[in-house]
Chain A
Amino acid sequence: EAQVTQNPRYLITVTGKKLTVTCSQNMNHEYMSWYRQDPGLGLRQIYYSMNVEVTDKGDVPEGYKVSRKEKRNFPLILESPSPNQTSLYFCASSQLTGGWGNQPQHFGDGTRLSIL
């Protein structure tokens, strides 16, 4: 089954304790992306990757890191989490076949992070 898998689905942690949210897709997609969703603000893009070893900032990258060492995986790293990073996080992927933006994005089920 084609899917985007995020882990963990839920996490409660404390300020300053490094954490990683994993994202994996089995569709051989080139494009992968991370979003955060906050009430009243909608989804905002954190980082995206066009392919292996190619990443770039979205609109809200501060406090986050990513890496793309393999095509299927795109982990999101919070090196020193703070309470304002409490949010619902989504990973997504899409093909780049036919040009940028011509294929739909596929989303994971989300990761709810609470930073105390």
Chain B
Amino acid sequence: KQEVTQIPAALSVPEGENLVLNCSFTDSAIYNLQWFRQDPGKGLTSLLLIQSSQREQTSGRLNASLDKSSGRSTLYIAASQPGDSATYLCAVTSGTYKYIFGTGTRLKVLA
């Protein structure tokens, strides 16, 4: 059964720092991996989607990489800002048409 883990559960960094969030999954037979952002009291916003044939995706200050063979993905945030404070979740899809989510990393960027 697919399991998705995100470490650390919480992270606090000073403004301007570059940081890496981690996502690992146990079954490498995924269709894609998606990173989301969740603000308090809000739904999830899709940040980046990496298809299984891709190695990385970039959007602005965000870069997500995927290594299927090792079951890992990283979300790199460059030059972090207080507005980046949120919970970041990753999710994988498989042939069963289901999404499996990690429990998230709660990020706080200090001004």
Given contacts A59-B98, A101-B31, contact A42 B103 (CB under 8 A): yes
| Residue among B32, B34, B99 with the highest chain A CB neighbour number at 10 A | B99
Residues of A within 8 Å of B36, CB to CB, are 107
The CA of A106 and the CA of B42, in the complex, are separated in Å by 12
Q: Which of B65-111 contact A (CB under 8 A)?
A: 89, 91, 93, 95, 97-104
Residues of B within 8 Å of A50, CB to CB, are 97
B43 contacts the other chain (Cβ, under 8 Å)? Answer: yes
Q: How many residues of A contact B (CB 8 A)?
A: 29
Q: Which of B39-58 contact A (CB under 8 A)?
A: 41-46, 49, 51
Q: Which of B4-37 contact A (CB under 8 A)?
A: 31-32, 34, 36
Of all chain A residues, the one with the shortest Cβ separation from B94 is A101
Kindly provide the distance from the CB of A45 to the nearest chain B CB, expressed in whole angstroms.
6
In the bound complex, do residue A101 and residue B32 qualify as a contact, i.e. CB atoms below 8 Å apart?
yes
In the bound complex, do residue A102 and residue B32 qualify as a contact, i.e. CB atoms below 8 Å apart?
yes
Of all chain A residues, the one with the shortest Cβ separation from B4 is A42
In the bound complex, do residue B93 and residue A100 qualify as a contact, i.e. CB atoms below 8 Å apart?
yes
In the bound complex, do residue B32 and residue A43 qualify as a contact, i.e. CB atoms below 8 Å apart?
no
Kindly provide the distance from the CB of B45 to the nearest chain A CB, expressed in whole angstroms.
7
In the bound complex, do residue B89 and residue A43 qualify as a contact, i.e. CB atoms below 8 Å apart?
yes
Cross-chain pairs A/B with CB under 8 angstroms, 7 sampled: A35-B101, A42-B103, A43-B91, A102-B31, A102-B32, A105-B99, A110-B41
Q: Which B residues fall within an 8 A CB radius of A?
A: 31-32, 34, 36, 41-46, 49, 51, 89, 91, 93, 95, 97-104
Q: Which A residues fall within an 8 A CB radius of B?
A: 4, 31, 33, 35, 40-45, 48, 50, 56, 58-59, 90, 92, 99-110
